[in-house]
Amino acid sequence: MTETVKAFDAAAARSTQVNRRIACVAGLLVLAALVPFAASDYQLRFAAEILIVGTAVLSLDLLVGFGGLVSLGHATLFGGAAYAAAVAARAWGADLTLMVGIGIVTGMAMAFVTGIVVMRTIALFFLILTLIVGQIFWEIVFHWRSVTGGADGLRGLPALELHLGFTTLDLSSSRALYITAAVLAFAAWAVARSFVNAPAGRALIGTRERQLRMSALGYDIARIRMMALLASGAIAGAAGALYPFVNQYIGPNSMHWTFSAMMVVMLVIGGVGSLYGAFIGAAICLGIQTYISSYTDRWQLVVGLIFVLTVLIMPRGIVHGVGSLMRGKGKP
Amino acid sequence: MTIRTGLTRRGLLAAGGATAVAGMLGAPMIARAAGQPLKIGMVTSLSGPFAGLGEAMRAGIAMALAEYGNELAGRPVELIVEDDQAKPDEGVRKFRKLIGQDNVDIVSGVISSAVALAVRDVVTEAKALTFISAGSANDLARGAASPLVFRPTKTNWMLGHTAGLWAAEKISKTGCITIGADYAAGREYIGDFVQTYTGQGGQVNQQLWAPLGTTDFGPLLTTLASARPEFIYSFFAGSDAVRFLKQMKDYRLHDKIRVLGGGALFDQEDVVATVKDAALGGQNTCNQSPTAPASLDFSKAYKAARGTLPGEMGTAGYVTAQVIKAAVERVGGDVAAKDKLKEALLAQPVDTVFGPMTFDPRNNQAILDIYVNEIVEGEGGPVNQVIHTYKAVQDPGPSA
């Protein structure tokens, strides 16, 4: 009898938790849908930028949060795809399908090259090697003036559009751009989530927790890491493909390791391993960079302070911190 | 279980966070409600390699606006300054913010050519009245010229070209090495110099490049020391220029090799005032000179206010305000009539501290006197002394 009651209670608790989560996601979606009506042109574009950068940070979360692989070369995948999309757009026009396709392929290709170098390493060596490979890519872009515009970057991009066969949608307005970015962000979140829940993702967590045991069980660790890198590269690439169209400009800073580091900071502030925390981290960092810097030249100090405070007060990031704040102290 | 009524630490944190967010969102609303002043936005570099230049530009425009009693054509003026860190991506974001969020009437500023190019599409799309104070990429007067983008400054060509003329005529037609910063502006200065110089029969032996933000010029300087050119034509700006000239002196090359440069290499406030003796004897072509007749009064006032003679950026900030003043007054303060304002501004020259400024109707580019300056020992240390003036230099414009 008691057993049954307990089981029943547990099931009820689980279902309220699921309900709560569904309510949460639905709430976020409604909020995201309302933004285009409330925000100004500038704010919409800014929101689109947050979503795009957030998507890239989400893809980094796959590596950091689930594989324990801290990468300092992630901006390379993102920026590389952005450059590929920009160059392609100038040559063949900016069709959304083509852009995202090129972005995904470029992101995966660069992730593959990076993966060959780094897949057998972990921790510090992984960090250093991703940094070095990333900087090599950056150097190439920085010096290949005829294609990438060198230090000046590329501008003069055509308007983003979507060919549907029977009609062509113009996606260059800030509202359309925001919606595109929101759809991309949601799709990326769904893909990342299913990757994490799939056997490959579970195995990735296994390699983080018990590497030796996983190889004793017959898992090929390097291969699992490569799969994670490819998935991460694909998402980062898809996000990167949209990035040039937010500001109609792409420059080498988007591939520089300092941007990779910024992504890691965004991830830590948002919450490692939560996936959607990536968007919150991106919003906080970009918000500070844009708004606080109007008042002081020392905005980086503010980002630093928030980073330190996050690590001290909410070590699992703002997502978990606020979550536990709402739930109260008793429950974890 | 206890019932908590007071503030818990969690509650305090949550409340603090919420207040901060609310404050951030609320700030622009409050600003908007404060009346109908003429809002001028300026994007300049307050951090990064051009931080010193950006400070000077901000001081220049603030000085001019203070002189006008913060009023143009009867409207109170509000100046909003933003930092682009000399990064194009950041510059684009800041221009969007000024136009889309702060709703400024006029945007201005920009030091880096790369930023000026990057923001071109943004301001063009927004049909914003734009005054590029210093970003001098040639393309903005050519392929990327835009109907409402005014350029009360030089183009890189105007300085590179005049330096080519000067070098071929007065320095030497042989034994030249160029050495430049490897980004948009550097490439253009050097390229235009070489084109004019070789067109006049000069010969360039070697071209050297250093990335923006180079700290150690050692390898390049040893190359120079062994090649022993008669003179070098060089372009660096900001802290790069300071390091380059200092290291020239450290390598004892400054009195063996004559240096001709773009104006920024011997900028009075930013470079010469810092490197002092290491700059002596250097020559440069520039649209600004603290000793130019048009600039004398301003130079004195600037020195009184900032303790140093003005360089190009301080002057550019001031000139930007002078040009905006002329434009706004010619339309009686009605900046919404953008086409009328453009017509009025192009109709007559503006008297600025750069010298008389006429706008080219093809591309809104200023036609300016270009000074050849030599660094000589003055009363308060080395100073840019005008030794020649090329009158009314005009960029080839869209046809080039």
CATH code, A265:
1.10.3470
Chain B window 92-121: which residues touch A at a Cβ cutoff of 8 Å? 92-94, 96-97, 99-101, 113-114, 117-118, 120-121
- What is the rounded average pLDDT of the residues B340-347? 90
Q: Are residues A26 and A71 in the same domain?
A: no
Q: Are residues A229 and A176 in the same domain?
A: yes
Q: Which whole-number Å values give the CA distances from B189 to B156, B203, B352, in the listed order?
A: 5, 16, 24
Q: Are residues A320 and A190 in the same domain?
A: yes
Identity at A66, one-letter amino acid code: F
> Residue A313's domain spans which residues?
39-327
% of chain A surpassing 70 pLDDT: 92
- Decide: B91 and B121 in contact? Cβ < 8 Å: no
Give residue A251's pLDDT band: very low, low, confident or very high (50, 70, 90). confident
Q: Are residues A48 and A132 in the same domain?
A: yes
Q: Are residues A68 and A190 in the same domain?
A: yes
A84 or A304: which carries more pLDDT confidence? Answer: A84
pLDDT of res. A306: 85
Query: Nearest 5°: phi and psi at B229?
Result: -70, 160
- What is the rounded average pLDDT of the residues A237-264? 91
Provide the shortest C-alpha distance from residue B62 to chain A (in Å): 17
pLDDT of res. A267: 92
* Residues in CB range of B92: below 8 A, 6 or more apart: A247, A248, A249, B118, B119, B122
Cross-chain residue pair B117–A42, CB shorter than 8 Å: no
Q: Are residues A132 and A30 in the same domain?
A: no
Q: Are residues A149 and A9 in the same domain?
A: no
Q: Are residues A64 and A198 in the same domain?
A: yes
d(CA B189, CA B374): 18
Q: Are residues A164 and A75 in the same domain?
A: yes
Provide the shortest C-alpha distance from residue B127 to chain A (in Å): 14
Q: Which residue of A46, A150, A248 is in closest CB contact with B121? A: A248
pLDDT of res. B270: 87
Handedness of CA A279, B86, B80, B102 (dihedral sign): negative
Chain B window 52-91: which residues touch A at a Cβ cutoff of 8 Å? 80, 82-83, 87-90
The answer to whether residue A200 sits within a structural domain is: yes
CB atoms within 10 A of CB B322: 23
Query: Nearest 5°: phi and psi at A313?
Result: -90, -40
The answer to whether residue A180 sits within a structural domain is: yes
The answer to whether residue A332 sits within a structural domain is: no
Q: Which residue of B88, B94, B97 is in closest CB contact with A249? A: B88
Question: How many folded domains does chain A comprise?
Answer: 2
- What is the rounded average pLDDT of the residues B363-371? 92
pLDDT of res. A24: 72
Of A290-304, A316-330, B18-32, B138-152, the least confident: B18-32
- Decide: A172 and A99 in contact? Cβ < 8 Å: no
pLDDT of res. B5: 45
The answer to whether residue A257 sits within a structural domain is: yes
Evaluate if residue A313 carries a pLDDT over 50: yes
The answer to whether residue A195 sits within a structural domain is: yes
Evaluate if residue B240 carries a pLDDT over 70: yes
Of A199-213, A289-303, B187-201, B286-300, the least confident: A289-303
Q: Which residue of B82, B96, B114 is in closest CB contact with A45? A: B96
Of A33-37, A317-321, B179-183, B314-318, the least confident: A33-37
Give the CA radius of gyration of chain B: 23
pLDDT of res. B4: 46
Identity at B296, one-letter amino acid code: L
Q: How far is CA B350 from the centre of its chain?
A: 19
Domains assigned to chain B: 38-154+294-368 (3.40.50.2300), 157-286 (3.40.50.2300)
How confident is the model over A128-155, as pLDDT tens digits?
999 999 999 999 998 888 888 877 788 8
Q: Are residues A6 and A101 in the same domain?
A: no
Token pair 């590179």 is found at B160
pTM of the model: 0.80
Q: Are residues A67 and A127 in the same domain?
A: yes
Q: Are residues A8 and A43 in the same domain?
A: no
The answer to whether residue A323 sits within a structural domain is: yes
The answer to whether residue A75 sits within a structural domain is: yes
How confident is the model over A116-131, as pLDDT tens digits?
988 777 778 889 999 9
* Residues in CB range of A7: below 8 A, 6 or more apart: none
Give residue A158's pLDDT band: very low, low, confident or very high (50, 70, 90). confident
pLDDT of res. B36: 76
